[in-house]
Structure 1
């Protein structure tokens, strides 16, 4: 998150495979030079490329489980359905974090890459960053009910690992006990942990044992020692208190009130909030402001501590922002690489997919066009050599390994916020988002001379 002001207050990645430099995974697979399941993560196989390295069950193109064949791989001959692709990719991204955290080996095994001029105590903050951010994007998918499909079995396994990871993260005796008690950065990533619980309370909060719940609450209350920076950090403090309110714990209304009033005051117009008093053009409306503001206001509304007018206004503004986001996705799935925290990748489009999850996309934006646009973005980013290292961890960059674009607060753990671009997996496979036929998004229609919807600014 934005650290410029905070740094003044407090002290301060994969599947490279056996590919030639510059080749994408898709290109290499077509040449028969790489197995898409080389990392040993189930589900990277599209149903036609055999998993010959990991020996694990994969999800094939029909959604059924298939056993890997031995020998050389086959060339891909079919297109992986969008939902399967999203599930496989989310597993590929999240598995190193979730599996290691469940075993108490995250600190032991996660690499530690830092942006140029990095200014935080990485060993004290990067692991909570990785886990809290990663599971906040997984939460809606993990909230779906269990079923007998291969995806359902994978989801259940992942949920169990996440729950064990939460237990380990707040257990002082665990080697992966996470730091909530020193530095300022834990306030940020504890907010993502709270967002996880708020997005999947029955799946990821209710099953925890009482001792773990008490440990979580204790750690969250320790965060009140931190003075938030005068920007999006106010929302992090507000999210922690909103979660405590949601579970019936003692909470501090002042923190949610200040966050609400300041974010409203910083509304710049046409769906954009300023991140603090001065506007900057970046993706913080996507990474933090719209999703957390609406989530916080929803808890306040549900608990009769906030107004419906505030929530409805925030939702309308997020819808306008998402409408503009959809238009910024180019015909080939690229988007403008600008502003702070470009390495957060698909998290930039969190408002768009969160509205899809809530069935509240703006008028004129069909679920299928969002699905297709997001799939195109994901393929541009995550199929590029260097986005992952050889052990399957994310690396600094936007598309591939580009450490030069990382910020002074960015380390390996920071990158796992990208899972927040996968929120629509919380919709069942039968939902129109996944079931409707493929649809062109706005930029594809514009640049092929087709009829499009005219755009206007809004005044709310």
Structure 2
């Protein structure tokens, strides 16, 4: 795709996989900033980008445009040691002066006040980007502001310290504001209190394997990298403080997260706020900058540049250089109510990589293969209940979800389908179907013609060995119409991943007589270069059918989904083999024998004759030679 701004020539000697160098990153940052600043107010306080407004309203959206692009400018200038050839900081200095002059007023420039998250809280999110940008550029911007502008900016920022955040990663926004104020000698008991509060919450949200839950409950998604790791690790790095605890967790997170990028650079399409796109690579860049990473500099650059280029090459920008609201082009199902025209610019967090100066190994070492390009891999993450499966031949990464549901502990289980969390599996080549279409990668119990959805997920374990892995969970089916539940009804699910194959086993307990069970596979488009297979092994009617999803996915304008169906009643076991691959995989090349008896499922793999054994209650999965 032709970009609205010019990039340097590719360097295939230094970057054989992507062609991108540090100069490309600087050029992209400058190009995004130049395109966005065409839509600024005269005083530069708001960037009113064109497009549908968010639920917070157009004034908040304008602040969002200022704050999120400021973060890109700050990484750009700080990484260049204050070098600012395009004069970005002068523009943001003008905007600070204009926006803080009369906060809360309904005029051309004034910023909205920071209030509680349930009232008009979006400015609290943006306060963190402004504070971080000011901290990064303090020697060149903050120290040269008039004292009055400094005082007004502090007073506006302190609204974040005095109001209630949303009960999740939002608590790191006042933490970040307080960190900036302390860094410029304006700390006090108020700043110390919010920082201590955030640290205590982070300890409670940390579950292990390098993963935090985004608030109480089990919400594991991209917010781990671009928020829950980014803010505390970067805070310690900028303060030259001991970051051992947070740094160790980031390193452990990247052990698994480094596997979550496809060979074509795509991150996993999974969780909310996906319109932030290449912000998904922020944790990788942060690890390289701070040294808290298991990845080599060459592999790190391969991942971050691959992700950046992936979206630039696939239409993420409009003709005039603005980021679309969507994934590649516009895509409504990728958005939330808080998504506005400037929301995609949280992608600016990827430019944290520019804090590594030009002579850093991140930029000087040659690119190395990404983890997905080195071998077939299966990695179980028991703490979040996730199973990562990648295949070298096609470069596809799949994520099997047995632990992340985005349902808070005090919330009831509603019958609302949540495609971004409720599906059994996600990948770098497919997106979930929209909630009004047939659900992909989903098991539904049908009682009286009413189908169920999966909401709260209860992990049962995860593990594996060399070249294989498993994860298991149970859920209580919630019905889309009629009564909210059937007493005693429960579904236990196990995924065993081996090579490109996914053995999916479900035990349905307590289903009424004459119930039905349906199970779907991956959603693909008619022109996709990938193949979705779903084979019936046990407990299904003969064969599968293809159903249409006219709203498509983020990867396909129109999609189709394979579906199996079978009878249920009492306790039944249903086994299938799924695959998402570049070439069709005949069933006989995968499995040669299946035995289901006495509460156990045994599968013989055609590849080497090894036997997978799945036992229910208590859960036990093994692979025997």
TM-score range, shorter chain: 0.7 to 0.9
Q: CA deviation at 1:409?
A: 0.9
TM-score between the two structures when normalised by the length of structure 1? 0.72
Per-residue CA deviations over 1:194-247 (Å, capped at 9, x if unaligned) read 111233322332222222211110111233442122211111122222222222
Per-residue CA deviations over 1:177-203 (Å, capped at 9, x if unaligned) read 322345211111101111112333223
User: Structure 1's 271 and 137: CA in aligned 2 closer, same or farther, altered over 3 A?
Assistant: farther
The 5 A counterparts of 1:402-413 are: 402-413=331-342
The partner residue of 1:341 within 261, 273, 278 is: 273
The partner residue of 2:142 within 191, 205, 222 is: 205
- Which residue in 2 is equivalent to 1:121? 56
Distance, in Å, in 2 between the alignment partners of 1:273 and 1:146 is: 33
- Which residue in 2 is equivalent to 1:420? 349
User: Structure 1's 229 and 333: CA in aligned 2 closer, same or farther, altered over 3 A?
Assistant: same
The 5 A counterparts of 1:47-86 are: 47=9, 81-86=20-25
Distance, in Å, in 2 between the alignment partners of 1:431 and 1:296 is: 20
Q: What are structure 1's unaligned runs of at least 5 residues? A: 1-23, 26-35, 49-59, 62-78, 303-307
Per-residue CA deviations over 1:230-267 (Å, capped at 9, x if unaligned) read 21111112222222222222431221111111111110
When the two structures are aligned, how many residues end up with a matched partner? Answer: 369
Distance, in Å, in 2 between the alignment partners of 1:220 and 1:282 is: 28
Distance, in Å, in 2 between the alignment partners of 1:357 and 1:98 is: 28
Distance, in Å, in 1 between the alignment partners of 2:71 and 2:209 is: 27
User: Structure 1's 367 and 108: CA in aligned 2 closer, same or farther, altered over 3 A?
Assistant: closer
Distance, in Å, in 2 between the alignment partners of 1:249 and 1:429 is: 32
The 5 A counterparts of 1:376-387 are: 376-385=306-315, 387=316
Worse-matched range after superposition: 95-104 or 430-439: 95-104
Q: CA deviation at 1:422?
A: 1.6
- Relative to its length, the structure with more strand (as a share) is 2
- Which residue in 1 is equivalent to 2:327? 398
The 5 A counterparts of 1:23-62 are: 24-25=1-2, 36=3, 39=4, 41=5, 44-47=6-9
Q: CA deviation at 1:443?
A: 1.0
Q: CA deviation at 1:103?
A: 4.5
User: Structure 1's 376 and 224: CA in aligned 2 closer, same or farther, altered over 3 A?
Assistant: closer
| 1:371 is aligned to 2:301 | yes
The partner residue of 2:91 within 147, 157, 161 is: 161
- Which residue in 2 is equivalent to 1:239? 176
User: Structure 1's 244 and 270: CA in aligned 2 closer, same or farther, altered over 3 A?
Assistant: same
Relative contact order (C-alpha < 8 Å, sep 6+): which is higher?
Answer: 1
Distance, in Å, in 2 between the alignment partners of 1:379 and 1:192 is: 24
User: Structure 1's 91 and 270: CA in aligned 2 closer, same or farther, altered over 3 A?
Assistant: same
Q: What are structure 2's unaligned runs of at least 5 residues? A: 13-17, 376-390, 394-465, 470-625
User: Structure 1's 107 and 208: CA in aligned 2 closer, same or farther, altered over 3 A?
Assistant: closer
Distance, in Å, in 2 between the alignment partners of 1:423 and 1:215 is: 27
Q: CA deviation at 1:287?
A: 2.3
Distance, in Å, in 2 between the alignment partners of 1:104 and 1:194 is: 20
| 1:433 is aligned to 2:328 | no
| 1:179 is aligned to 2:129 | no
User: Structure 1's 448 and 98: CA in aligned 2 closer, same or farther, altered over 3 A?
Assistant: same
Contact 1:291 1:351 in 2 (8 A): yes
The partner residue of 1:278 within 208, 217, 241 is: 217
Per-residue CA deviations over 1:21-79 (Å, capped at 9, x if unaligned) read xxx33xxxxxxxxxx4xx3x4xx14359xxxxxxxxxxx99xxxxxxxxxxxxxxxxx8
| 1:137 is aligned to 2:68 | no
Contact 2:202 2:212 in 1 (8 A): yes
User: Structure 1's 431 and 193: CA in aligned 2 closer, same or farther, altered over 3 A?
Assistant: same
Contact 1:237 1:256 in 2 (8 A): yes
The partner residue of 1:192 within 129, 133, 158 is: 129
Query: The residue matched to 1:167 in structure 2 has which SS?
Result: helix
Contact 1:293 1:314 in 2 (8 A): yes
The partner residue of 1:356 within 257, 275, 288 is: 288
The 5 A counterparts of 1:309-348 are: 311-348=243-280
The 5 A counterparts of 1:243-322 are: 243-251=180-188, 252=190, 253-296=192-235, 308=242, 311-322=243-254
Contact 1:180 1:220 in 2 (8 A): no
Distance, in Å, in 2 between the alignment partners of 1:102 and 1:256 is: 34
User: Structure 1's 319 and 103: CA in aligned 2 closer, same or farther, altered over 3 A?
Assistant: farther
Distance, in Å, in 2 between the alignment partners of 1:353 and 1:439 is: 15
Per-residue CA deviations over 1:62-104 (Å, capped at 9, x if unaligned) read xxxxxxxxxxxxxxxxx85422222222222222334654843
Q: Which has the larger radius of gyration?
A: 2
Distance, in Å, in 1 between the alignment partners of 2:51 and 2:57 is: 8
Q: CA RMSD in A?
A: 3.1
Q: CA deviation at 1:161?
A: 2.7
User: Structure 1's 361 and 254: CA in aligned 2 closer, same or farther, altered over 3 A?
Assistant: closer
Query: The residue matched to 1:268 in structure 2 has which SS?
Result: strand
Q: CA deviation at 1:397?
A: 0.9
User: Structure 1's 319 and 205: CA in aligned 2 closer, same or farther, altered over 3 A?
Assistant: farther
